[in-house]
Chains A and B, each alone.
Chain A
């Protein structure tokens, strides 16, 4: 079956850089997505990697290595508002469904 591994918690200070890793096991892989969810809120899309390499969107970047079944989300110039849960999710199968990791709780300290 499919599985994803990501750290449960990460803590960093404002202005710092943090990397959240994600490893996965799956079949019928289309790509790796990242979603952000604030407490009490809904998941929101951050990025998607279908091919190997780095995708940059503002302060956030996402990386994928298909051969290593590994990806990461890089958050730069951390701000307090970045405190949230971050989920990696593989897009897979004929229905191209998302299977989510268990989430990483990021706490940004002043």
Chain B
């Protein structure tokens, strides 16, 4: 059973297009996250939702819009894609107030903008 799943795994698209990435977790966690990992492997948080409420909204272009329809799902929509958006996007989930705050990561979506 996959704990955190993302679709698609690979996404190749042209500049200016709009695309979405979907994430689902079956761990019963109350918090979900989107991270961006660049080519230098730097992992940076973008957004976080706790019980469908946005709790972290880092400095990210407003072309990126997250949406959490329920606690188990967190989607990321990106408008007007740019070359600099090329990266691996990871979804993660956790139980916010757990002792360790361990985050479970999805397999990642490798986005390539041409």
Contact = CB atoms under 8 A, between A and B. Distances in A.
B101 A98 contact: yes
Contacts of A37: 41
Interface stretch (A15-23, A38-46, A73-81): A38-46
Interface residues of A, number: 22
Contacts of A44: 105
Interface string A91-102: 100011111101
A85 B84 CA distance: 23
Contacts of B43: 43, 87, 100, 103
A48 B105 contact: no
A78 B33 CA distance: 32
Contacts of B66: none
The 10 closest A-B pairs by CB, nearest first: A48-B100, A42-B105, A100-B43, A45-B102, A95-B55, A43-B105, A103-B41, A95-B56, A91-B101, A97-B56
